[in-house]
Structure 1
Amino acid sequence: MTDCIGLVAGEPSGDLIAAQVLTGMKEARPQLVASGIGGPALQASGMQIWHPMDMLSVFGYVDALKNLPRIYAIFKDVQRRWLANPPEVFVGVDAPDFNLRLEHNLKKRGIPTVHFVSPSIWAWRYERIHRIRQAVSHMLVLFPFELEIYEREGIPATYVGHPLADKIALEPDRQATREALGIDPDATVIAILPGSRRSEIELMTPKFLAAAERLQQRAPGLIFVVPMVNQARKAQFEQMAANFKLANLQVIETSSSEQWPASWRAMAACNMALVTSGTATLECALFKRPMVISYVLSPWMRRIMAWKSGQSKPNLPWVGLPNVLSQSFVVPELLQDEATPENLANALWGLWEDAGRRHEIEQQFVRLHQTLRCDTATRASQAILQVMERGP
């Protein structure tokens, strides 16, 4: 065995947390060398980048099929290298379709494998647990309830908390963020987050902005803040927004000059939010903002998901992460046919009129934040080092 680790991080969030984990591991073992697939954060941490993580980035099933030959070639290349020179441990960060296959093949050859971020088997395709058992020596999970699943299935696992809970302050500064955005400190602000992908913005924006119009009719002084991940998505949104009459609509874009992404600034500034289901719902909860969660899939995408998963709906009654983690409908969810502009507006208005309920939601989110805030990078690096010390 060489004194090195193999590592694959397939997206920006994984690159950032993996870089923190690698830094922690190097403090314990300064001679450690990491190589594999990653992004700028891992490269800055000293990792040898064989392939940039952008080469694994695909959006949707069609894009995945188009890029399959390229991804397969990368897969064969990194597998060949690690089988020829086995690392002390392989760490796969998220990207389950790529990493679990790689982990399975490496583990068969005696290389310990750690997978960081459990696939959502609790919602879709629980039977993947058998594939995980074959591929993973140790699982690092982000949520407490996931640990129970892996312990029940006899798969070694460690709860490490969620890295976002370490980054977001327990008491976000609403007034400072409003001042930076030029928003009246006493205004009522609603953040609208239709998503970061073109397809999400196309499906969710008309519903969200039609709901905003209805809310504006009830309270003309409302301010709506909409974050966009880049200039292309901002242009797409603004073209659609031109069809709606909203007097106080502010669109902000993620910029390299800003410490926070646009979505975090919108969450910090707002009183409430209308959010497309996904990681943004967890971020919104960590900012302690009451929200209404929504999601709409096109008929074509619904058919593909049902075909791939063998399910027409998730195994749980909740979709939004704040509700999943709380095991109750802490905040409203309006999905598919229920996601009408009228229903969305009514749900948000109901939250605004019920100050007691908003306070309960905020307190629940405080408890959630405290549970998830565990110094994830340190816990993860310690767990990986323990796997290395145990060996195959």
Structure 2
Amino acid sequence: MTKLRIAMVAGEASGDILGAGLIQAIKRHYPDSVFYGIGGDLMCAEGFVSDVPMDKLSVMGLVEVLGRLPELLSIRKKLRLALIANPPDIFIGIDAPDFNLTLEQRLKSAGIATVHYVSPSVWAWKAKRIYKIKESADLLLSLFPFEAQYYQPTQQYVVCVGHPLADLIARDHQLLDARSNLNLSGEGKVVAILPGSRSSELKYLAEPFLGAAELLRQKFPDMTFLLPAANLKRRVWLQQLLDEKFPDLNVRLLLNQSRETMAAADAILIASGTATLEATLLRKPMVVAYKMSPLTYAIYSRMIKTPYVSLPNILAGEKLVPEILQNDVTPQRLASEMEKALEDTAYQSHLNVRFSEINKTIQLDADERAADAVISLLKQKGVITCSRP
């Protein structure tokens, strides 16, 4: 029986989800396969061996990366040398393009088959990355159908797999009972507050988000606020913030229940990122915000080529949800936009229709599609020579 050795690197929580699903799907075909590299808790729960904690790679923003650059370069170099000395059958870099693409390029040059899972946002900025991606990856797995067209100049091997979150959410029937599971039955309006999982996101977004909640509470006295923390460390940080600056705000602080929280909510105040896709798939009205260091924003804002930054708007090709950025991220502005999300029924109906349409384009059984594409590449490379495991 074929026993594949698959090296992988995931750099953050969204990549951990993708990696775990891919491991499960490959194991259905080749159950004795081994997986190792850098990954998170979900991947490790599937038997993945992570040589470095995934949190080491979870850093956002140009300025923020600079302070961690020596450590990140050291991690990448050690991993590259180890993989070249003892080559895996294939290397799969999951998102984290700044870390993974250079690693993939070196490994591909050494004769190792490479996959990059998640197309970088070449349609939004740094379009010329398609040439580096061609040099780095034998196969690109994209999440969204519109992305393949941007790789035509390099004739990149691209397979659109859809998004695993669409499959996950469709299968998770417990989300229908999220309110009762969170003991919210019979209460007033529910707002989910998701300022992000990274420390840099919490630094810039947690306080204005909670300030907006205070303003909303003044208009909706019976409103319930749910604040999920990504892990225990983030929960401690958020509790300290609540105690010090929002002692009178009645917020339910939860742990590792972001999807349930969103499913239970009438509307969501949310940081731009993958979580906005979950909110879209759950068909929830939302207000999207993002803030970063002034220097990082000054650089990014000059590089972005797309009119939108949030996934629901990008996928729709129109401004479905408000995007509040940088200096506009104030409690007053956020609260004002949230009022519309909570009270405008015609707007809510339009969102529901458009979000359902988006769902249909990306619910494609992504884990299995990705596994099939990886296995097909391994057959092309001669690593798998038999037609069946």
> Structure 1-normalised TM-score?
0.85
Q: For 1:271-293, what per-residue CA distance to the aligned partner results, in whole angstroms no more than 9, with x for missing partners? A: 01111211221111122110111
Matched to 1:340, the amino acid is T
Matched residues in 1 for 2:112 and 2:37: separation? 15
Report whether the alignment pairs 1:341 with 2:342: no
Q: 1:372 to 1:104 in 2, by over 3 A?
A: same
CA contact (8 A) 2:27 2:33 kept: yes
Matched residues in 1 for 2:202 and 2:34: separation? 41
The alpha-carbon deviation at position 85 of structure 1 amounts to 4.3
Q: 1:18 to 1:202 in 2, by over 3 A?
A: closer
Partner of 1:199: 200
Q: For 1:287-340, what per-residue CA distance to the aligned partner results, in whole angstroms no more than 9, with x for missing partners? A: 21101111222324324xx1xx5x525211111111111111111112223333
Report whether the alignment pairs 1:320 with 2:310: yes
CA contact (8 A) 1:124 1:315 kept: yes
> Structure 2-normalised TM-score?
0.86
Partner of 2:360: 370
Q: 1:270 to 1:278 in 2, by over 3 A?
A: same
CA contact (8 A) 2:313 2:319 kept: yes
Report whether the alignment pairs 1:279 with 2:269: no
Match for 2:291 among 283, 290, 296? 296
CA contact (8 A) 1:58 1:64 kept: no
Q: 1:171 to 1:94 in 2, by over 3 A?
A: closer
Match for 1:358 among 348, 352, 363? 348
SS in 1 for 2:369: helix
Q: 1:58 to 1:36 in 2, by over 3 A?
A: closer
Q: Which runs of 5+ in 1 are unaligned?
A: 255-260
Matched residues in 2 for 1:71 and 1:132: separation? 20
Matched residues in 2 for 1:184 and 1:41: separation? 30
The alpha-carbon deviation at position 172 of structure 1 amounts to 6.2
Partner of 1:51: 51
Partner of 1:257: none
CA contact (8 A) 2:58 2:198 kept: no
The alpha-carbon deviation at position 46 of structure 1 amounts to 4.5
Matched residues in 2 for 1:380 and 1:43: separation? 19
Moved more, 341-350 or 229-238: 229-238
Q: 1:62 to 1:373 in 2, by over 3 A?
A: same
SS in 1 for 2:51: strand
Q: 1:322 to 1:376 in 2, by over 3 A?
A: same
Matched to 2:181, the amino acid is A
The alpha-carbon deviation at position 98 of structure 1 amounts to 2.3
Matched to 1:197, the amino acid is R
Matched residues in 1 for 2:158 and 2:325: separation? 33
The alpha-carbon deviation at position 32 of structure 1 amounts to 4.1
Partner of 1:267: 262
Matched residues in 2 for 1:154 and 1:338: separation? 41
Partner of 2:89: 88
CA contact (8 A) 2:63 2:296 kept: no
The alpha-carbon deviation at position 108 of structure 1 amounts to 2.0
The alpha-carbon deviation at position 366 of structure 1 amounts to 2.0
Matched residues in 1 for 2:248 and 2:78: separation? 52
Matched to 1:250, the amino acid is V
Q: 1:125 to 1:219 in 2, by over 3 A?
A: same
The alpha-carbon deviation at position 67 of structure 1 amounts to 4.8
Matched residues in 2 for 1:3 and 1:230: separation? 32
Q: For 1:11-49, what per-residue CA distance to the aligned partner results, in whole angstroms no more than 9, with x for missing partners? A: 3443443233233334334554444333454455445x3
The alpha-carbon deviation at position 58 of structure 1 amounts to 4.3
Matched residues in 2 for 1:54 and 1:158: separation? 26
Partner of 1:258: none
Partner of 2:104: 103
Matched residues in 1 for 2:279 and 2:129: separation? 29
CA contact (8 A) 1:170 1:287 kept: no
CA contact (8 A) 1:88 1:391 kept: no
CA contact (8 A) 1:100 1:135 kept: yes
Partner of 1:214: 215
Matched to 1:296, the amino acid is K
Matched residues in 2 for 1:86 and 1:198: separation? 35
Q: 1:234 to 1:5 in 2, by over 3 A?
A: closer
CA contact (8 A) 2:11 2:58 kept: no
SS in 2 for 1:301: helix
Partner of 1:236: 237
The alpha-carbon deviation at position 363 of structure 1 amounts to 2.1
Q: 1:24 to 1:357 in 2, by over 3 A?
A: same
CA contact (8 A) 1:172 1:268 kept: no
Matched to 1:371, the amino acid is T
SS in 1 for 2:133: helix
The alpha-carbon deviation at position 380 of structure 1 amounts to 0.4
Moved more, 28-37 or 86-95: 28-37
The alpha-carbon deviation at position 140 of structure 1 amounts to 0.2
Q: 1:347 to 1:10 in 2, by over 3 A?
A: closer
Q: 1:356 to 1:24 in 2, by over 3 A?
A: same
Q: For 1:72-123, what per-residue CA distance to the aligned partner results, in whole angstroms no more than 9, with x for missing partners? A: 4443343334334444332211222222112111222333211111122222
Moved more, 102-111 or 6-15: 6-15
